[in-house]
Amino acid sequence: MARQQKKYQIKNLNSGDINFDSFKKKLQKYLNDYQIKKIEKAYIIASKAHEGQLRKSGEAYIEHPLSAASYLSDFQLDYETIMAAILHDVIEDTEINMEVLQQEFGMKVSQLVDGVSKLDKINFSSKEEADAANLRKMILAMSQDIRVILIKLADRIHNLETISVLKAQQRRKIAKETLEIYAPIALRLGIHNMSIHMEDLAFQSLYPLRFKILQNFINDARGNRKELMKKIKKIVEDKLMDEGLNADVLAREKHVYGIYKKMKHKELKFSQIHDIFGVRITTTNVDDCYRVLGIIHNSYTPIPGRFKDYIAIPKSNGYQSLHTEILGPHGLPTEFQIRTKDMDILAQTGIAAHWFYKIKDKTSLKDYTKEQQWITNLLDIQENSGNPKEYLQSIKADLYPGKVYVFSPKGDIIELPKKSTVIDYAYAIHTDLGNKFSSAKIDNKVVTPNTILKNGQLISIFTKKNVKPNPGWLNFVITEKARHSIRASLKLIQREDATNFGEKLLSHALKEFNIKLKDIPVKTLKIVLEEYNCSNIEDLYREIGLGNRIPKLVAMRIAPTSDNKNKPKSSKGVNIEGTEGIILSYAKCCFPIPGDKIFGYISQGKGIVVHQQNCKSIKRVKSKNEEIIDLSWGEDLDDVFNASIKVEVRNKRGVLAQISSLIAQSNSNIESVTYGDTKETGHNIMVFVVSLTHINALSKLMSKLRKNVNVISVERKRS
């Protein structure tokens, strides 16, 4: 039932509303009178809607959205964002609906509010499903308007600031979610101030004792090093002045959670953390940044390996700065950050910095290249995730920025997470580059797909038209884009393979009734498709290819009854071309390879399973009344197949290495090997599974192995 709409009368504000008066003064610094009047209207309507509602702290509910809006005004965000922040809970917690918001404030503001609102009116089967659904909706809203996430972050900050009134379990849940999702999102958007503020608030709520102890340590250290930092600051200022450089020098302090992360990650004690305090220098231009760096290195001894140039190679969130660590007075390691004033604004406020520069109509994500790419990746993950738990884990894994910088052949710098592989790089450049991957070179040397990348390498990817992603890549790729692109492609390949192979199977089955696919009457086809609940013939092919429908039974249903008596006595088997993909599998009990006589049976959901004709499992298949299909190998197979060989050898040192070397020299890969001995003879038995292209290659390999002086017998293991 729709909520009853009511017209809200706009009256003058209560002059005693001190909170709004102070908020209004902040707005007057950068907004005009018309825009402030619109915000006042939003405040009045939100106040009326939340009237009588109290937060658990006992304060009026309107204080929460007003605090969130006030926080955003510190970033000088536009008036529509401020209005939406004030109204962000009205849909969720009051009788106001989207229609009222659209009528009173227009489409943009109502869409912003809707993007922030939770999906609490929908029943979900689990908490994970609800969390995933809320995150999905927010990311989708972000892709339309980036201001949605800014409102959500401000909302989360005020919730954390007032979290002490909640029960311990609820506090821990909110704090954990903040550290895993919201603080990393703020960091990825470059809003450093928001990120560290949320991290410290969440850390204090999640581990109050650890926070208190670390805070006390920092306070003690601050007292001990205060004079030393003053001395360094004065020396640097004097040297910069002597060189005629106009720069601001600021002594800075690491936040509590940042220190805790470093202690935990590197397993250090607080006394072993030397860069708690540092110096930040802001200049007017990039050239001055590098001049300042030279002065610092001339004045103090730089620590090797501690210099990073984020100006030449910015971080994924757009952050730019020079970082260097030096040995200061008394051997105290001190970090220096050197950047321009514009870089400093971007470092502190990230994407919100665009409003500082008064760039109009820049709310669409398409105006921010890095943010656009990141959100697009999140949308791809959303589309290809199998379940809510997988989606949440994928988003969390994607939120942390990379640390490996490599070069494309065009000289572009590509940033990837640590331990990224060649395949991760290919998918980072373009999905098609990954899907069509054939080979790769690093610094002009051929490498394997699972090669882990290192800083400064030049990566070249080569493709082929007819290749497909290898399911084995999922065992080593680490980026979510690569993982989900591979999965999505494999799903598509499975559908295509199933459709093509199903068509081939049905065509073969219809031959027994002297019928061709093109000759099936439209009326007959329509009846059959309805019976099998298929919308078109491709769906029916796919069902057959996946093993969900038996081709002979479908053929019998299509064929006229009178023709069943006149079917031919025999027909050739279905050809296997080696391109059927994952809907056709080869039995591991007998390992059929080209040259063997083969048959197949339909396994529901798995398609066709191929066996050798003399495989012992034929009896089990027949006992289950599963349909057996005559199969034969195509002429131009372009694939490798596994075969199993049993090798009996003398019990001598180094024999396994000898046999493995002989197999490798025959251009065969060893997929697996098992090793044992026989009590009767004392000989060793080795069973290899090797990859080959044809039975002739297997015969040559076995003949080669028999010539080894330590080999007693070689035979193919068929079942």
Residues 6+ apart with CB under 8 A from 566: 514
Chain centre distance of CA 430: 15
Residue 395 vs residue 686, higher pLDDT: 686
Distances (CA, A) of 137 to 115, 158, 565, 653: 7, 22, 60, 63
Residues 423-438: pLDDT tens digits?
999 999 999 999 999 8
> Rounded to the nearest 5°, which phi and psi values hold at 620?
-65, -40
Task: Say which residue, 629 or 324, is predicted with more confidence.
Answer: 324
Tell me if 668 sits within 8 A of 639, measured CB to CB.
no
Give how far Cα 673 sits from Cα of 290, 472, 585, Å.
58, 19, 21
Q: Return the pLDDT at 89.
A: 93
Inform me whether the pLDDT recorded for 701 exceeds 70.
yes
Q: Which two tokens stand for residue 76?
A: 């000088």
The H or E element spanning position 677 is strand 669-677
**Contacts of 68 by beta carbon, 8 Å cutoff, 6+ apart:** 85, 86, 88, 151, 154, 155, 157, 158
pLDDT at 386 over 70: no
**Given the residues 92, 128, 161, 648, the one annotated as active site:** 92
In degrees, rounded to 5, the angle at the alpha carbon of residue 28 between the alpha carbons of residues 23 and 30 is: 115
Give residue 209's pLDDT: 94
Structure confidence by residue, pLDDT tens digits, 16-41: 455 788 899 999 998 999 999 999 99
Q: Of 127-131, 339-343, 563-567, which range is least confident?
A: 563-567
Measured between alpha carbons, how far is 630 from 535 in angstroms, rounded to an integer? Answer: 29
Question: Which has the higher per-residue pLDDT, 344 or 519?
Answer: 344
State residue 113's pLDDT score: 92
- Banded pLDDT at 622 (limits 50, 70, 90): low
**What number is the average pLDDT over the span 59-74?**
93
Report domain extents, the chain: 18-209, 222-356, 369-487, 491-633, 641-716
Q: What is the mean pLDDT of residues 405-431?
A: 88
Question: At residue 622, what is the residue type?
Answer: K
Q: Which of 93, 496, 539, 626 is catalytic?
A: 93
What six digits make up the tokens of 673? Answer: 């090997």
Are the C-beta atoms of residues 115 and 137 closer than 8 Å to each other? yes
Express each pLDDT in 68-101 by its tens digit. Answer: 999 999 988 999 999 999 999 999 888 898 999 9
Q: Worst-scoring range by mean pLDDT, 59-68, 475-484, 560-569?
A: 560-569
CA distances to 42, 46, 110, 113 from 100, in Å: 12, 12, 9, 12
Instruction: Check if CATH label 3.90.226.10 holds for domain 641-716.
Output: no
Q: Is 342 a catalytic residue?
A: no
> Does 95 qualify as catalytic in the annotation?
no
Residue range 581-591: average pLDDT?
Answer: 75
Q: Which residue has the higher pLDDT, 319 or 400?
A: 319
pLDDT band at 337 (very low <50, low <70, confident <90, very high): very high
CATH architecture observed for domain 369-487: Roll (3.10)
> Is the pLDDT confidence value at 153 over 80?
yes
Instruction: Please determine, looking at this structure, whether the domain spanning 18-209 carries the CATH number 1.10.3210.10.
Output: yes
Cβ atoms within 10 Å, residue 586? 19
346 pLDDT band, cuts 50/70/90, is confident
222-356 carries CATH number 3.30.460.10 = yes
Residue with the bigger pLDDT between 239 and 354: it is 239
What is 320-368 written as a DSSP string?
A: --EEEEEE-GGG-EEEEEEEEHHHHHHHHHGGGHHHHTT-TT--SGGG-
Contact 549, 543 (CB under 8 A): yes
Residue 381: its H or E element: helix 369-384
Q: How far is CA 264 from CA 258, 267, 464, 498, in A?
A: 10, 5, 46, 50
| 483-539 tens-digit pLDDT | 888 888 877 777 777 788 788 888 888 887 888 888 888 888 888 888 888 888 888
Secondary structure in 3-state letters for 21-65: HHHHHHHCCCCCHHHHHHHHHHHHHHHHHCCCCECCCCCECCHHH
Q: Indicate the burial class of 455 (C-beta count within 10 angstroms; 0-12, 13-18, 19 or more).
A: exposed
- This prediction has a pTM of 0.61
Q: What is the mean pLDDT of residues 139-151?
A: 82
What percentage of the chain carries pLDDT values higher than 70? 83
Neighbours of 336 (CB within 10 A): 25
According to the model, what pLDDT value does residue 587 have? Answer: 84
**Looking at this protein, which amino acid is placed at residue 578?**
G
Highest mean pLDDT among 309-323, 425-439, 558-572, 642-656: 425-439
Average pLDDT over residues 536-544: 86
Phi-psi region of 328 (alpha: psi -120 to 50; beta: other; left: phi over 0): beta
Provide, rounded to the nearest whole percent, the portion of the chain with pLDDT above 90. Answer: 31
pLDDT at residue 269 in the model: 87
Long-range contacts of 211-217 (CB under 8 A, 24+ apart): 211/256, 214/256, 214/259, 214/260, 214/270, 215/256, 217/270
Identify the residue with better confidence: 140 or 605: 140
Lowest mean pLDDT among 268-272, 581-585, 690-694: 581-585
Does residue 569 register a pLDDT over 60?
no
Cα separation, 710 vs 397, in Å, equals 51
Q: Which residues of 218-250 are buried (b: 16+ CB within 10 A; e: fewer)?
A: beebeeebeebbeebeeebeeebeeeebebebe
Which structure tokens are listed for 299?
A: 């004045």
Alpha helices in 532-604 (DSSP H): 537-545, 551-558
